[in-house]
Amino acid sequence: MFVEVRNLHKSFGTQKVLQGLSAKVYKGETLVLLGGSGGGKSVLMKHFIGLLSPDEGEVFVEGEDITEMNERELSKVRRMMGMMFQNSALFDSMTVGQNIAFPLRMGGEKDENRITKLVRESLEIVRLSGQEEKMPSDLSGGMRKRVALARAIVDRPACVLFDEPHAGLDPITADSIDHLVKDLQRDHQMTNVIVTHEMRSVFRIADRVLFLKEGIVYWEGTPLELQESTDPELKNFIEGSSGESWEN
Q: Which CATH superfamily is domain 1-80+157-248 in?
A: P-loop containing nucleotide triphosphate hydrolases (3.40.50.300)
pLDDT in tens, 123-182: 999 999 999 999 999 999 899 999 999 999 999 999 999 999 998 888 898 999 999 999
Single out the residue of 160, 216, 127, 153 nearest to residue 48, CA to CA. Answer: 160
Q: What residues contact 134, with CB distance under 8 A and at least 6 apart?
A: 95, 96
- Where are the chain's structural domains? 1-80+157-248, 87-156
Lowest mean pLDDT, pick from 24-33, 80-89, 216-225: 80-89
Give dist(CA 165, CA 198) in Å, integer.
9
The number of C-alpha atoms within 13 Å of 77 and in the hemisphere containing its C-beta is 24
Single out the residue of 241, 15, 50, 45 nearest to residue 161, CA to CA. Answer: 45
Largest CA distance in the chain: 56
163 in Cβ contact with 45 (< 8 Å): yes
3-state helix, strand, coil in the chain (%, to 5): 40, 25, 35
Flag whether pLDDT at 113 surpasses 60: yes
Q: Provide the b/e sequence for 2-23 (b: ≥16 CB within 10 Å).
A: bbbbbebebeeeeeebbeebeb
Q: What residue type is assigned to position 210 of the chain?
A: L
> Residue 218 CB: number of other CB atoms within 10 A?
17
The number of C-alpha atoms within 13 Å of 117 and in the hemisphere containing its C-beta is 7
Four-residue CA torsion sign, 37, 21, 65, 80 = negative
Q: What residues contact 92, with CB distance under 8 A and at least 6 apart?
A: 135, 136, 137
- As to burial, measured by CB atoms within 10 angstroms (0-12 exposed, 13-18 middle, 19+ buried), residue 99 is buried
Strand partners, 12: 15
The mean pLDDT value of the chain amounts to 92
- What backbone torsions phi and psi does residue 19 show, to the nearest 5 degrees? -130, 65
Q: Is the pTM of this model over 0.75?
A: yes
pLDDT in tens, 184-216: 999 999 999 999 988 999 999 999 999 999 999
Flag whether pLDDT at 248 surpasses 60: no
Give dist(CA 114, CA 130) in Å, integer.
17
